[in-house]
Amino acid sequence: MKLSVISSAIALALASCAVAPVFAAETAAVAAAPAAAKLHAALRGLWQGHVQQTRAYAFAVKAHDAAAADKAARGVVANATQIADAVGGFYGEAAGKQMLQLLAGHWGGVKALTDAEQRGDAAAKQKAMDDLVANGNAIAGFLASANPYLKKDAVLSLLTTHVGHHAVQIREIMQGDMQAEAKTWSAMQAHMDVIADALADAIARQFPARAA
């Protein structure tokens, strides 16, 4: 990936407070969809679980705690399986398996980025970001093809910001800048709710009877 793409991802993360308004135009059309409160809550919990586990992995790597890192890594995989199962519940077993493969690619990139940041390996960091951006494009394409109410470019924008959050947070953790990380963590959590809500709204519109 070119440096401009890395910079764009990080810049989007740092400006994440503006993400919700930008995406609002894309989600306005689904405002009339059923509230689907249970679906919203479930997806928020799942996506929050993703960043909780990846954050735990970064802290464990920073502390050179192999046991904690392994526990967090297993937690990321378990969470990805739950997200994939949720997707499969609406789109079928094959779609669930494909989503799991895509989430595995995302985690592989985040893990590689975390490990590279801890080692100070610039080349490995760039490779990890290359992989994460390509993976985000694949996830956005998959979700857009499955749901007509999800625009690929809008989903990709959300995922690009998410990747940027990972990059910023990992760097701050490895530098021991907990004050900055606390701000990034707050923005990251809020952004995961934006992602979850966008997906829940689109699913509720596509499957109103099942998502209610």
The per-residue pLDDT for range 95-148, each reduced to its tens digit, is 999 999 999 999 999 999 999 999 999 999 999 999 999 999 999 999 999 999
Minimum mean pLDDT range among 28-42, 60-74, 177-191: 28-42
The residue type at 9: A
Minimum mean pLDDT range among 30-34, 68-72, 113-117, 137-141: 30-34
The residue among 80, 69, 128 whose CA lies nearest residue 104 is 80
Minimum mean pLDDT range among 33-42, 84-93, 102-111: 33-42
Q: Reply yes or no on whether the pLDDT at 23 is more than 80.
A: no
Gap between the Cα atoms of 157 and 8, Å rounded: 10
Which residue intervals of the chain are DSSP H helices? 3-14, 19-27, 37-62, 66-91, 93-119, 122-146, 152-175, 178-206, 208-211
Residue partners of 94: CB distance under 8 A and separation at least 6: none
Summarised one tens digit per residue, pLDDT across range 142-172 is 999 999 999 999 999 999 999 999 999 999 9
Residue partners of 202: CB distance under 8 A and separation at least 6: 30, 147, 149, 150
pLDDT: is 92 or 21 the higher one? 92
* Burial of 182 per CB tally in 10 Å (0-12, 13-18, 19+): exposed
The total number of structural domains that make up the chain:
1
**pTM of the predicted structure, to 2 decimals:** 0.85
* Cα–chain center distance at 52: 11
Inter-CA distances, 4 with 56, 94, 167, 181, Å: 29, 35, 14, 23
Domain interval for residue 193 = 3-211
